[in-house]
Structure 1
Amino acid sequence: MSGHHITTDDAWVPEACTLPTAERPLRLAEFDQFIAEAVRGLDRLSAQHLRLYLDGGTQVEETTRDLAARESSCCSFFTFDLSRPDGNSLSLDVRVPAAHADVLDALAERAASVRGHR
């Protein structure tokens, strides 16, 4: 049996997540808005590593840091690394242990889907 719960809208929530159930749809909506507004591209570098290319604005950097910190606090298996390769762009590396590669799969699929609908 999988250690993850998939909802009817294809949202992913690992059992290890400590975010209260009532707050999960709000966090998912935050991720969708973040992806739609800030993500400019993505690369799946390995089964355990996803890179998101972001708009380089200051507000995007602040939002990304906040969202990553809050997500790490409830899903501690995520590792987020935000960097600024140049003055106009940001990249967010998202890594997970092998046991949670399916969660990263779902995040990558969601990001591609949300980006495709904008």
Structure 2
Amino acid sequence: MDDLTWVPDACTLPTAERPFRMAEFDQLFAVHLRGADRVDAQTLDVTLTPDSREVVEDLTARETECCSFFTFTLSSNADELRLRITVPPARTDVLDGLSDRL
């Protein structure tokens, strides 16, 4: 299994379930990722295929439940889905860990 030491103690997802959640993000990125831009230390913009909306909405809703410090913002047009992920300054290490998976 992957090293998830960057996952903060503030995450309420049971430890045994964390690798499965990370696998869901990995699958999303493997199938739908078109690009990513680290805007700044606290912000990551991810561009995905437009048909990923349902998966993204479900995954980000569940992630917000266990890691409430994340802010996920979706926008789209006919050609792409944009997911902006932001974290507070104290959680940039978490965004680093997620960004490293791209």
**TM-score, length of structure 2 as denominator length:** 0.94
- One-letter identity of the residue aligned with 1:91: R
1:110 is displaced (CA, Å) by: 1.2
- Displacement after TM superposition at 1:65 (Å): 0.3
Q: CA RMSD in A?
A: 1.1
Listed as ranges, the gaps of 5+ residues in structure 2 are none
Aligned 8 A contact 2:60 2:72 in 1: yes
CA distance in structure 1 between the partners assigned to 2:14 and 2:26 by the alignment: 19
Q: Structure 1 residue 10: deviation in Å?
A: 3.5
Once the two structures are TM-superposed, the CA of residue 88 in structure 1 deviates from its matched residue by: 1.4
User: What amino acid is aligned across from residue 42 of structure 1 in structure 2?
Assistant: A
Counting aligned pairs with the same residue, the percent is 55
- Size of the alignment, in residue pairs? 101
Q: Give the match for residue 10 of structure 1.
A: 3
Determine the structure 2 residue equivalent to 1:74.
Answer: 66
- Give 1:56 shift: 1.1
Match of 2:90 among 79, 92, 99: 99
- Deviation of 1:9 (Å): 2.7
Q: Which has the higher strand share?
A: 1
Offset, 1:35: 0.9
Structure 1 segments unaligned to the other structure (5+ residues): 1-7, 112-118
What secondary structure is seen at the aligned counterpart in 2 of 1:110? coil
- Greater Rg by CA: 1
Q: Does structure 1 conserve the Cα–Cα contact (< 8 Å) formed by 2:71 and 2:85?
A: yes
Equivalent in the alignment of 1:3: none
One-letter identity of the residue aligned with 2:60:
A
Paired residues of 2:73 and 2:83 also in contact (CA < 8 A): yes
- Does the 8 Å CA contact 2:2/2:19 hold for their aligned counterparts? no
**Partner residue in 2 for 1:89:** 80
Normalised by the length of structure 1, the TM-score is 0.82
Stretches (4+) displaced over 2 A: 8-12
